[in-house]
């Protein structure tokens, strides 16, 4: 039964299994882009490999190819000029159907072994992938490397570990002997076969094609499903490289590479809908807008649908021992990747009568000002600022900044910076606007981008009430609280558990509310409208396969 790739990666898998059980710090893929870790020349070779991909057809043969597609424009202002095969869906599905039987039969150890081999090979292409992530998402290079490569690979490994943890608990067979009093017992042998669901569709997003795409992709692959990857039209390359690696590994392991395929398409066409409604598609992993996610949940009823959608992330400021630390930490969360993260904070609730701090009582305006200064200090040096901000991913972000500016008094205006290397890039700093608690029609929706509202409330009790309601009704992936009062912390924990949102308490150092660590932090809970699943837990994997048994009498 065992598979050589399973044996090869068993030590890695065992470490990952220990990590998901303990949930302390662990990482399989080093986040440091240092030559000491990834080897001398790895950075340069990765850059060269990326450059070699530009302005030509991407090297991938897919069944049913009919012409090409692809018009990715780097948020840094460079058209990538890469074309991808455009596939005919009927021919694609026919080819996948031919590939499936041998893959289904190969069994859990082959699925998991192949998935692990793919991940470790992807890791070797991290520098190339980092440039691909940078020039499709607009993330700065170091973030593209860390979040887009090792962190995403860790998330993929975590999904494989959860999958295996479920798969391994189903025995391949059992001997069943039922006593019959004085008569001979009944004796049966039972065989339990793991059967994948069918075809899994991964719908990628523009901002985190790998980090958000890998959990579903590897969870489905490790449970025996064929996977179709449908990238966002402006973030194809990172997933194309991923699919390329997967197909190489599959072919080398003697499987039909069409177990993993890529469907690139043009922006605005109906490829996503067509794919989602195919009867063969039994699993869908989606990251994107609430409208599209809800459309899938409602319409793709032949499939198990896992969605991560929009939400309203919030910070409750009650009191602070170290307001400068608060401001520094919040500023980074607002600025990182121009706030274009599903986990970035938006609403910051502060009592209108001000808060107690180690430096004494501060008024609402002083707190708002401190937050603004935190951002200014963080981004004071434009050369350093662009390495935090990255580039604006699309015009919608810039439009929302302008619209948000009109909502209330501006505490800190958004600045336009010039990128020293990429003059075409749009770089924007965070906007902070003051609102009143009663303005909930303004702030109780997602303003994706570097937009923060400092909201005056009657006090922390009201702040928590609003936070609870917002998370329950509009969804939230993160909630943060700052307080020196244990009672307030306890109340915030109760609100978080009621609203199903992860809570970060008094972050003033180098951990940020919008960061979620594989093997330790559950990303999303599935318990509020921002996501119907968590990355990753047992529920995320257990329904990607079924068990089919057969039984017969035996004499022994």
Q: Applying CB under 8 A, which residues contact a second copy?
A: 21-25, 165-166, 169-171, 174-180, 186, 188, 190-193, 195, 197, 297-298, 301, 492-493, 496-497, 500-511, 517, 520-522, 525-527, 534, 537-539, 542-543, 546-553
Distances (CA, A) of 389 to 133, 348, 486: 15, 20, 34
For residue 521, give the 3-state DSSP assignment. Answer: coil
Query: How many Å apart are CA 85 and CA 387, to the nearest integer?
Result: 33
Report the distance separating Cα 310 and Cα 207, nearest Å.
13
Nearer to a second copy, 89 or 176 (CB): 176
Cβ 505 to a second copy, closest distance in Å? Answer: 4
For 138-177, b/e burial (b = at least 16 CB within 10 A) is bbbbbbbbbbbbbbbbbbbbbbbbbbbbbbeeeeeeeeee
Min separation Cβ 11 and a second copy, Å: 21
CB of 441 to a second copy, least distance (A): 22
3-state secondary structure of 1: coil
- The β-bridge relationship of strands 319-320 and 347-351 is unpaired
**Nearer to a second copy among residue 470 and residue 492 (C-beta):** 492
Residue closer to a second copy by CB (options 40, 184) is: 184
For a second copy, which is the closer residue by CB, 15 or 520? 520
Report how far apart, in Å, the C-alpha atoms of 309 and of each of 151, 260, 281, 436 are.
21, 25, 20, 26
Token digits of residue 410 = 């501006």
For the CB of residue 104, give the shortest distance to a second copy in the complex, in Å.
Answer: 8
Give the whole-angstrom CA distance, residue 232 versus residue 230.
7
Task: Report, in Å, the least distance between residue 333 CB and a second copy.
Answer: 14
* Minimum distance, C-beta of residue 105 to a second copy, in the bound complex (Å): 9
**Minimum separation from the CB atom of position 502 to a second copy (A):** 5
3-state secondary structure of 534: coil
Question: Judged by CB, which is closer to a second copy: 11, or 298?
Answer: 298
Residues 444/94, Cβ–Cβ less than 8 Å: no
- Specify whether the CB–CB gap between 213 and 534 falls below 8 A: no
C-beta closer to a second copy: residue 236 or 501: 501
Indicate the SS3 state at residue 323: helix
* Cβ proximity to a second copy, 166 vs 308, nearer residue: 166
Whether residue 462 contacts residue 437, with contact meaning beta carbons closer than 8 Å, is answered with yes
| Nearer residue to a second copy within complex by CB, 28 or 87 | 28
DSSP class of residue 57 equals: B
In the complex, least distance from residue 158 CB atom to a second copy, rounded to whole angstroms: 14
């Amino acid at each position: 039964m065992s598979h050589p790739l399973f044996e090869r990666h068993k030590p890695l898998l065992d470490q990952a299994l220990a990590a998901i059980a303990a949930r302390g710090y662990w990482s399989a893929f080093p986040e440091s882009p240092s030559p000491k870790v990834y080897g001398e020349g790895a950075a340069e070779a990765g850059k060269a490999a990326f450059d070699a991909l530009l302005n030509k057809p991407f090297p991938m043969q897919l069944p049913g190819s009919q012409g090409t597609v692809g018009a990715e424009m780097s948020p840094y202002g460079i058209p990538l000029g890469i074309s991808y095969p455009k596939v005919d869906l009927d021919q694609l599905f026919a080819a996948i159907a031919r590939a499936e039987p041998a893959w289904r039969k190969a069994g859990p150890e082959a699925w998991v072994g192949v998935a692990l081999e793919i991940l470790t090979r992807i890791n070797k292409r991290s520098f190339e992938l980092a440039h691909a992530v940078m020039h499709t998402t607009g993330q700065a290079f170091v973030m593209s490397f860390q979040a887009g490569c090792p962190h995403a690979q860790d998330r993929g490994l975590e999904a494989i570990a959860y999958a295996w943890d479920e798969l391994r608990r189903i025995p391949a067979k059992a001997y069943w002997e039922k006593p019959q009093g004085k008569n001979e017992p009944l004796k049966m042998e039972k065989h339990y076969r793991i059967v994948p669901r069918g075809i899994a569709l991964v719908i990628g997003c523009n901002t985190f094609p790998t980090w958000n795409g890998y959990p579903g992709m590897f969870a489905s692959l490790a449970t025996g499903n064929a996977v179709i990857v449908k990238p966002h039209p402006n973030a194809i390359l990172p997933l194309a490289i991923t699919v390329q690696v997967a197909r190489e590994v599959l072919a080398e392991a003697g499987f039909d590479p069409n177990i993993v395929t890529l469907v690139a398409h043009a922006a605005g066409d109906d490829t996503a809908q067509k794919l989602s409604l195919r009867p063969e598609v039994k699993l869908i992993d989606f990251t994107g807008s609430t409208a599209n996610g809800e459309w899938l949940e409602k319409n793709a009823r032949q499939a198990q649908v896992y969605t991560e959608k929009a939400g309203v992330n919030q910070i409750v400021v009650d009191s602070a021992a170290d307001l400068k630390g608060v401001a520094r930490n919040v500023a980074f969360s607002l600025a990182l990747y121009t706030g274009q993260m599903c986990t970035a904070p938006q609403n910051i609730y502060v009592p209108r009568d001000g808060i107690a701090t180690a430096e004494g009582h501060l008024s609402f305006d002083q707190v708002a000002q401190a937050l603004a200064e935190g951002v200014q200090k963080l981004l004071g040096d434009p050369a350093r600022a662009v390495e935090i901000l990255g580039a604006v991913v699309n015009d919608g972000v810039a439009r929302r900044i302008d619209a948000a500016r009109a909502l209330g008094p501006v505490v800190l205006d958004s600045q336009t910076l010039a990128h020293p290397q990429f003059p075409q890039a749009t770089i924007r700093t965070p906007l902070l606007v003051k609102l009143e608690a009663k303005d909930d029609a303004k702030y109780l929706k997602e303003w994706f981008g570097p937009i923060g509202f400092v909201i005056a409330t009657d006090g922390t009790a009201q702040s928590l009430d609003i936070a609870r309601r917002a998370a329950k009704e509009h969804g939230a992936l993160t909630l943060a609280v700052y307080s020196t009062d244990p009672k307030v912390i306890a109340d915030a924990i109760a609100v978080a558990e009621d609203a199903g949102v992860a809570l970060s308490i008094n972050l003033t150092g180098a951990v940020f509310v919008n960061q979620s660590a594989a093997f330790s932090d559950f990303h999303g809970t599935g318990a509020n409208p921002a996501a119907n699943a968590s990355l990753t837990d047992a529920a995320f994997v257990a329904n990607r396969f079924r068990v089919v048994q057969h039984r017969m009498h035996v004499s022994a």
